[in-house]
Amino acid sequence: MNFEIIVVGGGHAGCEAALAAARLGAKTVLITPKKETVARMPCNPSIGGIAKSHLVHELQALGGEIGRNADATGIQFRTLNTRKGPAVRATRIQCDKAAYSKRMLNVLETTPNLHIAEQLMTEFLIESNTVVGVIMDNGELLYSAAVIFCPGTSLGGTIHVGDVKEPGGGDGAPASHGITEQLRELGFRISRLKTGTPPRLDKVTIDYNAMEIQPGDYPPPLFSDPLELPSLFHVEHPETAQIPCFLTHTTAKTHEIIRSNLSRSSLYGGHIVGTGVRYCPSVEDKIVKFPNHASHHVFIEPEGVTSPLAYPNGISNSLPRDVQDALVASIPGLASARIIKYGYAIEYDYSDPTQLFPSLETKLIKGLFFAGQINGTTGYEEAAAQGFMAAINAVRMVRNQNPIILRRDEAYIGILIDDLVTKGTDEPYRMFTSRAERRLLLRQDNAQFRLCGRAGEIGVVDQAILKETNIAELRIATEIKRLNSLRVGSHSCLELLRRPEVKYGDLPCALNSLSGRLVCELENRVKYEGYIMRETKDAARMSGIESTLIPDSFDYVSTPSLRIEAREKFLRIRPRTLGQAVRIPGITPADISILAVFLRRHSASIRNQL
Amino acid sequence: MNADSDTIVGISTAPGAAGIAIVRISGTESLAIADQIIRCNRRISSLAGNNMAHGFVADGNDIDEVVVLVFKAPHSYTREDVVEIQGHGGSICARRILSAVLRHGARMAEPGEFTKRAFLNGRIDLVQAEAVIDLINAQSERAASSAIEQLEGKLSDYIRTCYDKMLTAAADLEYSLDFEEGDLGDDYFRKIAELVENVNVTLEEILNTWEEGVLLREGLKIVISGPPNAGKSTLLNGLLGRNRSIVSETPGTTRDTIEEQSVLEGIPVRYVDTAGLRDASCTVEQDGVRRAKESIATAGINIRVIDGSAPLEASQKPEEWPNADHWLIVLNKADLGLVMRKSDFPVNLRCVECCLHDETGIKTVRDALKVMINISTGSTMPHATISERHRAMIQYAQNELNECMILLKQRGEESAAEAAAALRRATEKVGEITGHFYTDDLLTKVFSRFCVGK
Ligand SMILES: Cc1cc2nc3c(=O)[nH]c(=O)nc-3n(C[C@H](O)[C@H](O)[C@H](O)COP(=O)(O)OP(=O)(O)OC[C@H]3O[C@@H](n4cnc5c(N)ncnc54)[C@H](O)[C@@H]3O)c2cc1C
Ligand SMILES: Nc1nc2c(ncn2[C@@H]2O[C@H](COP(=O)(O)OP(=O)(O)OP(=O)(O)O)[C@@H](O)[C@H]2O)c(=O)[nH]1
Ligand SMILES: [Mg+2]
């Protein structure tokens, strides 16, 4: 069978990739072992959170599915960081785990140009360093011009519970074997990482009275525009049916149990070699590294409306089962809680992401793209962002168009990919707002506006929506002008609105016709104008080097004056712009000056040849 | 990394060159900056290209009487607007002018940056690209080594401590933004503000000691060493023109290092007299010898004084001279008849024969030093330039820290994101001095201070 795009793996990266490719009109096939397990959430069933929410809003603006899927299947909706200014405000939606997969599958199945093959891929078909297709478990060959590989944690996956280990891809998925070996043979550098998940509890065996309740926010904050939300709801409408989370904590007894069983943990017992996540530590880690903390938070989160499971957020571990039982029982409210699934740690293979171009195409094999956890990231949102961009660029490659590379001052997606392909990572990479140089420009609230042009260029989002965004943009600009011209006493309305305590609605001249979203964006632009201008200016200063392209044909080898170390790094990373070259660890300003001079000579000599 | 669109400034004359010092500004803002700092009977920006004017550089008080040359784009070396300010010789004046220009918005030129711009703007022929690159390479090497020299000792300790405190404050602030969803309380942000304030006080102190300490920090270190009784202290006194160090016929008179500042070839130097090198028995002297060896290791120029009238014990005559260009051998006591001669030393070593008791002997040594200074300091990257770069960075950081502090004090948590942006800019700038990379350091700090995650 022939396709334009093959997507391998129906996780968060794969689903976004398959949808984006098909929506751009490319004939696409998604290969995944079981339809029912697409977009599953092996860990915490929530989408968004600080910095991750920014990624989701950006995907929403560009035409991704993750935001809408979370909105439609959410059971608890919250805005985080409400008191800390718009740059770090974030949406977090607790989803019904089963509904999340089910709705995503429905979207996949109803998208034109998209086929699903319920198979495992076993081998890439490679001809002279170009991928031409894949072989599946049933022996069938599929051909295509590009393959997007999104296997998640299943490459060489090993699951650890205490000192017991077995192969597995996490959350019941099979481990993939043989593919790592083929990739190594092709020359890829592959290493190990690890992550873990807490036990799941039977929700009716929990005593919620001993815990603090955490209700959702009303009205529920969403990733997509409420008006656009499709009618397909697997979950009761949230406004009437949000489900609360609960807060409890570990005790001295919990810590004692863990401490005395450390040698039986697969982490501390020396069974695991992969690097773990510093910011999502296991409970063993927390107790060893922070011995002075008497107690740690544990959030009890429902996995769904009808699911019997509750997710105890905060006690991820890989201890033997009897220790997990004792550990859980030592937590207030969980004295008689029953564990349905035990916690575990998983070790898996990932490929050094500096082996990718910023388009996410591998440097070694033409037409082969990697997205998601295989690139060393962790998180559904990080995976979705890569899947989307890989698909866009795969389709563009097939159509002989230049790749679209989002800049760091334009989107967190740009930061994510630039960090990965420029610096690589040796621990699971997660997004933080502090990774952004110019955080005040990259608000979740303005994603739709700052990415409107890019969305047009990409072509997934409906033209009508982009037009509406442009109109909204105009309305904000007009309204700011109007506020500037109206006076109350000796001040203009604009000056009044700049004061921290004044809201748009407080102004005597406020219009009722502006939607909540526009009011929010307008307030941000007015109140933070000084800071935004400052960062815009800083970004503009750098736009020169950020837009200086380094042609792929650039010959570092016969650039003799470069330091050897610099030459090796340039050759390995093959930066696309001078700006990217600057960020390669160990590169000095002098290296960049020299590169700039040679680039100039290079382009002049090309001009002379023409 | 810096943008090619910035207005840049640098000292473009050799540090020691007598007569004049030239400070060159290039970029769109150069005329505007010149207008602000030059007092003259006409505005510098009103001059036609290729013209000159006479005036005073003033930034508060008068700094120097100068001649100003104006070149307008594209008829200049870089093809941008260029202003050259020619002041009186000496690095101090040039540095003050530079400092005034930096305060008005230019940034310090990177090594070879003027020539790089000339090239990028098409002024220089493509064939010359190699030459441009060699220049960048040579200058950046020198800049790097001088920067390290600059940061020796206390100053670098102070700056490193500041960086670390800033990072701690940043980690606390970032933690509140990226991880903590609960209420941290106003006290939390007040404490960060206090830490930032504390750093600002230290930075202020560093800047205050800048002027007075400048000679001490920047003077080219010339270390006089050798066996006991060779005439080291005699040489120090001769070079200084006054009796600073005790001279006596008893070997082992000088027991500790003695430092004295002076000026040679227009640049500040620091002479260091040391204890005679021998296997000393008393601990005071042993200490002196150890310090002498440390001085030798950190010297810009080393003078080895040897009594040439007596044969040298084998242990006193090193076979190997690492960094031979940094050494000057003085064969002293020629008046007593030399039994050792220049020819007893490797040909690549600079060596003079003289009698330090008389003025011509001292002059012989001084002349040899002058030649060495001009070679060792090179042409366009005086130490002063580097320290000025640091000063500008520290001042920038201070402004940002101030903003951060005010925001946190006035609005606490609500302004945490804006305060963090200012703190980040400050920390990145100071990290440029100490060679640290912000984001990586920051996350490491956050994870070591806080138990984050679920
Ligand atoms: C135990 C565990 C704990 C985690 N904890 C956290 C956490 O605390 N916080 C966090 O942010 N993230 C966590 N994650 C990570 C998060 O689940 C992933 O980052 C995210 O799901 C990655 O998306 P993906 O699309 O790359 O891969 P996945 O979502 O893993 O999807 C991969 C898909 O590819 C399929 N597949 C694999 N190989 C093949 C093949 N050869 N042929 C066909 N299909 C194939 C799989 O069956 C699966 O459907 C955890 C993951 C696991 C497993
Ligand atoms: N004849 C002669 N004597 C000299 C000359 N230079 C120095 N001396 C004498 O040598 C003796 C030692 O001189 P210093 O300058 O004290 O020697 P030093 O190397 O500092 O000795 P330390 O005390 O070991 O540090 C003194 O008596 C000087 O007067 C010279 O050129 N000719
Ligand atoms: Mg002496």
Amino acid present at A468 = E
Contact call for A545 and B176, based on CB within 8 A: no
Please enumerate in sequence order all residues whose Cβ is within 8 A of that of A349, keeping only pairs 6 or more positions apart, or say none.
A155, A156, A180, A190, A191, A192, A374
Local structure of A103: helix, strand or coil: helix
H helix or E strand, kind and range, residue A391: helix A380-398
Q: How far apart are the CA of B453 and the nearest CA of chain A, in angstroms?
A: 4
How far apart CA B46 and CA B54 sit, in angstroms, is 14
> Confidence class of residue B384 from pLDDT cuts 50, 70 and 90?
very low
Start-to-end Cα distance in chain A: 42
Local structure of A30: helix, strand or coil: strand
Per-residue pLDDT, B70: 94
Q: How far apart are the CA of B258 and the nearest CA of chain A, in angstroms?
A: 38
How far apart CA B40 and CA B68 sit, in angstroms, is 10
Per-residue pLDDT, B223: 93
The CB density around residue B129, as the number of other CB atoms within 10 Å, is 18
Chain A residues 248-307 with a CB less than 8 Å from chain B: 277-281, 286, 289-290, 293, 296, 299
CA of B252 to the centre of ligand 3 (A): 7
Local structure of A610: helix, strand or coil: coil
Enter the DSSP assignment of B322.
T
Local structure of A333: helix, strand or coil: coil
Ligand 1 atom closest to Cα of residue A170: 53
Please enumerate in sequence order all residues whose Cβ is within 8 A of that of B382, keeping only pairs 6 or more positions apart, or say none.
B11, B14, B15, B91, B94, B267
H helix or E strand, kind and range, residue B419: helix B416-434
Per-residue pLDDT, A502: 93
List the Cα angle A297/A299/A302 in 5-degree steps. 170
Contact call for A590 and B136, based on CB within 8 A: yes
Per-residue pLDDT, B113: 82
How far apart CA A239 and CA A197 sit, in angstroms, is 30
How far apart CA B116 and CA A476 sit, in angstroms, is 44
Per-residue pLDDT, B386: 46
CA dist B108 to B78, B112, B140, B203, B447, Å?
Answer: 15, 11, 13, 20, 35
Alpha helices in B126-231 (DSSP H): 129-150, 153-178, 186-218
Any atom of ligand 2 within 6 Å of the Cβ of B225: no
Phi and psi at A167, nearest 5°, equal: -70, 145
CA dist B264 to B221, B236, B250, B268, Å?
Answer: 11, 13, 30, 6
Per-residue pLDDT, A600: 78
Contact call for A589 and B140, based on CB within 8 A: yes
Contact call for B417 and A440, based on CB within 8 A: yes
The CB density around residue A556, as the number of other CB atoms within 10 Å, is 17
Per-residue pLDDT, A593: 82
Query: Among B108, B122, B135, which Cα is nearest to B24's?
Result: B108
The CB density around residue A100, as the number of other CB atoms within 10 Å, is 28
Please give the full DSSP string across A556-590, using - where no structure is assigned.
STT-TTS-HHHHHHHHHH--SBHHHHHTSTT--HH
Q: Which two tokens stand for residue B58?
A: 């003033």
Instruction: Tell me the ligand closest to A193's alpha carbon.
Output: 1
Secondary structure E strands in A128-263: 130-136, 141-143, 146-149, 158-161, 164-167, 190-197, 200-202, 212-214, 245-249
- Cβ-contact B9, B98 below 8 angstroms: yes
Q: Which two tokens stand for residue A306?
A: 């009808």
> Would you say residue B63 has pLDDT above 80?
no
- Cβ-contact B197, B405 below 8 angstroms: yes
A/B interface, count of CB pairs below 8 Å: 140
- Cβ-contact A425, B443 below 8 angstroms: no
The CB density around residue A79, as the number of other CB atoms within 10 Å, is 16
H helix or E strand, kind and range, residue B352: strand B350-353
Q: Which two tokens stand for residue B394?
A: 């520290």
> Would you say residue B145 has pLDDT above 60?
no
Residue B323 or B19, more confident = B323
Please identify which residue in the block is written with the tokens 């060495």: B372
- What CATH class is the domain B218-376? alpha beta
Local structure of A160: helix, strand or coil: strand
Task: Give the burial class of A155: count Cβ atoms within 10 A of its Cβ; 0-12 exposed, 13-18 middle, 19 or more buried.
Answer: buried
How far apart CA A143 and CA A3 sit, in angstroms, is 6
Per-residue pLDDT, A466: 95
> Confidence class of residue B121 from pLDDT cuts 50, 70 and 90?
confident
Query: Among A582, A147, A195, which Cα is nearest to A377's?
Result: A195
The closest residue, in CA terms, to atom 4 on ligand 1 is: A43
How far apart CA B351 and CA B341 sit, in angstroms, is 9
A444 contact residues in B (CB cutoff 8 A)? none
The CB density around residue A268, as the number of other CB atoms within 10 Å, is 18
> Would you say residue B1 has pLDDT above 60?
no
Rounded to 10 deg, the angle between the A589-609 and A564-573 helix axes is 60
Q: How far apart are the CA of B293 and the nearest CA of chain A, in angstroms?
A: 33
- What CATH class is the domain B128-209+385-435? mainly alpha
Local structure of B229: helix, strand or coil: coil
Bridge partner list, A93: A47, A77
Q: Name the residue ranges covered by the structural domains of chain B.
A: 8-124, 128-209+385-435, 218-376
Sheet holding B51-59, edge to edge: B38-39, B51-59, B61-71, B82-88, B20-26, B8-11, B107-108
Q: What is the pLDDT of residues A296-340, one digit of tens each?
A: 889 999 998 888 999 999 898 888 999 999 999 999 999 999 999
Q: What is the pLDDT of residues B5-15, one digit of tens each?
A: 899 998 876 54
The answer to whether A548 faces chain B, any CB pair under 8 Å, is no
Share of chain B above pLDDT 70, in %: 78
Nearest CA in chain B to A84: B414
Q: What is the pLDDT of residues B155-201, one digit of tens each?
A: 667 788 889 999 999 999 998 898 866 677 778 999 999 999 999 99
Bridge partner list, B135: none
CA of A347 to the centre of ligand 1 (A): 12
Q: Which two tokens stand for residue B280?
A: 């000393």
Pick from B166, B172, B175, B178 the residue to mutate for testing the A interface (most A CBs within 10 Å): B178
Q: What is the pLDDT of residues B387-409, one digit of tens each?
A: 667 778 888 999 999 999 999 99
A565 contact residues in B (CB cutoff 8 A)? none
- Cβ-contact B373, B301 below 8 angstroms: yes
Out of A440, A588, A589, name the one closest to residue B418 (CB): A440
Please enumerate in sequence order all residues whose Cβ is within 8 A of that of B81, keeping only pairs 6 or more positions apart, or say none.
B26, B27, B28, B30, B31, B71, B72, B73
Out of B112, B126, B416, name the one closest to residue A601 (CB): B126
Any atom of ligand 1 within 6 Å of the Cβ of A180: no
How far apart CA B291 and CA B256 sit, in angstroms, is 7
- Cβ-contact A217, A93 below 8 angstroms: no
Chain centre to alpha carbon of residue B355: 35
pTM of the model as a whole: 0.78
Q: For chain A (length 610 residues), average pLDDT per consecutive 10? A: 96 98 98 95 91 97 96 91 90 93 96 97 96 96 97 90 81 81 96 90 93 88 74 51 88 92 78 66 83 87 90 90 94 94 92 97 98 96 98 98 96 97 92 92 95 97 94 95 92 93 91 90 94 91 87 83 86 93 86 83 66
- What CATH class is the domain B8-124? alpha beta
Any atom of ligand 1 within 6 Å of the Cβ of A276: no
How far apart CA A486 and CA A553 sit, in angstroms, is 57
Determine what percent of chain B falls in helix, strand and coil, rounding each to the nearest 5. 50, 15, 30
Share of chain B above pLDDT 90, in %: 30
Contact call for B418 and A589, based on CB within 8 A: no
Q: What is the pLDDT of residues B405-452, one digit of tens each?
A: 999 999 888 899 999 999 999 998 888 777 677 777 777 777 666 666
CA dist B91 to B98, B112, B208, Å?
Answer: 10, 19, 19
Bridge partner list, B25: B9, B83
Please enumerate in sequence order all residues whose Cβ is within 8 A of that of A200, keeping only pairs 6 or more positions apart, or say none.
A303, A309, A310, A311, A312, A339, A340, A341
CA of B236 to the centre of ligand 2 (A): 11
Amino acid present at B446 = V
* Buried residues in B234-273 as b, exposed as e (16+ CB within 10 A): bbbbbbbeeeebebeeeebbbbebbbbeeebbbbbbbbbb
Q: How far apart are the CA of B30 and the nearest CA of chain A, in angstroms?
A: 17
